[in-house]
Amino acid sequence: MSGTNTSLWTRIRRVAASDRISGLIMLGFALLGLLLANIPATYQGFEALSHFHLGIPGTNIDMGLGHWAQDGLLTVFFLVVGLELRQELTTGSLSNVRAAAVPMLCAVGGMLMPPILFIGVIALFSRYGGADPGSLLIANGATFPLSEASHGWAIPTATDIAFSLAVLALFAKALPGSIRAFLMTLATVDDLLAIILIAVFFSSLNAWYWFVGIAACAVAWYFLVRMRKVPWIGIAIIGILSWIMMYEAGVHPTLAGVLVGLLTPARSMHGERSPRAERYADKLQPFSALLALPIFAFFATGVHFDSITPLLLVSPVVIALVVALVVGKPLGIMLTAWLSTHVGTLRMPRGLRVRDMLPASVACGIGFTVSFLIASLAYSNEELSAEARFGVLLASLLAAAISGVLLSRQSKRFERIAAATPHADTAELDRGDVVTTLPDGTVVVSQRIGKGSHDDRRDTTQAR
């Protein structure tokens, strides 16, 4: 029986480790939630399920299942993000600031451009959109002041790394490993910036003593997780308490996962073969990819529209989000990459040119998870929040489709170059990359990516 359980868990972990499969599962749950919330026979049942309340005795915490998915279950995802950030900052791509400078700056550029375009588009609609000057007319006929609609500026700032990597896995099998590494570094910094953004702009701080409790939980976690034998019951209690303290303090409670993740050791200790942050992230990944994210997507997209009409496609908020994510994200990334390497003194990673990043930068326009979360935080009005989430879904699908086409064409180009130049001089780098110089001066960099049994070797081609 134990062998069967082990085999089942191995298969589950393999599915969770697949960017392609886990991304498609999350997308399927998102579309299912949207359908169930708008089919006449099911939308009332979906509403009842979403608003079924559960509370924690002795606290002010009493939420519907939809909010539990957003504020509670999504904490698992943010815990994995925190653990991965800790590992990246300690020994990963972010530990060498100079080497990661360009993708780090691109993450900043990719977060600054979308809000500018979002505000610009809704400002144009408020002036020429048919409603009174200074107001926006949305799909259901309601009008909102520009000042209220502009609260959604932060929605298109985030990149969904899970979906972006799923698109790469589906359409770019022959792409360079350095492009994937560039994207992962960019998205990691993007996650960190999104966490800061949520903490700063979407928290309403309460009594000071809750922050004392948060600090006490952080100190307790720091010492407990460094013990030779980690007391898991104590760790679980501290984790739950830190979540409650965050909630009561007015800080978004999912950030409790980031806090404890960043406090977890990312170097081997007590003779262990791998860092605890890395091991914990690997163990939690299946729960995040196959449980937390799909259920969150199911409830997040489950918004009911009185009537789904073509007017939704021309709603100012929807159009602004499509422009911000599909155009603003790649524009900010590419412009920053060009300025930092052509005007500044920085250099792209070996084997990459700025233009090689265009297809992957379009994939960064896939907002999804964090964008849904920010949409629910930015708008208190249900209609605006619903249209914003619909806009995020539409923009993410468009970005995925466009990047899929571009990545597929780019991947085929790399395949043709590799097939046409079979003879080359090869050198092995210390970090495990293989640099191959072809007779025509083209440089091919093969880079090992992934962990454990899922290692994969990709090639990157750069003409010089």
pLDDT in tens, 303-360: 777 666 777 888 899 999 999 999 999 999 999 999 999 988 888 877 778 888 899 8
Q: Which of 101, 440, 79 is nearest to 284 (CA)?
A: 79
How confident is the model at residue 284, as a pLDDT? 92
| Residue 39, φ and ψ in degrees, nearest 5 | -80, 125
b/e 317-328 (16+ beta carbons within 10 angstroms → b): bbbbbbbbbbbb
Q: Which of 110, 155, 117, 82 is nearest to 363 (CA)?
A: 110
Q: CB count, 10 Å around CB of 446?
A: 20
How confident is the model at residue 315, as a pLDDT? 87
CA distance 79 to 277: 10
| Tally of CA atoms within 13 A in the half-sphere of 390 that contains its CB | 27
CA distance 352 to 463: 9
Note whether 345 and 146 are within 8 A (CB).
no
How confident is the model at residue 451, as a pLDDT? 41
Name the pTM for this structure. Answer: 0.79
- With pLDDT > 90 as the criterion, what percentage of the chain qualifies? 31
How confident is the model at residue 135, as a pLDDT? 80
Task: Pick out the chain residues at pLDDT < 50.
Answer: 424-464
Structure-block tokens of residue 155 = 């929605």
Structure-block tokens of residue 211 = 């922050």
CA distance 117 to 322: 10
Q: Which of 81, 9, 103 is nearest to 292 (CA)?
A: 81
How confident is the model at residue 112, as a pLDDT? 94
Note whether 190 and 317 are within 8 A (CB).
no
Q: Which of 229, 213, 369, 389 is nearest to 296 (CA)?
A: 369
How confident is the model at residue 238, as a pLDDT? 94
How confident is the model at residue 70, as a pLDDT? 86
Q: What is the mean pLDDT of the chain?
A: 82
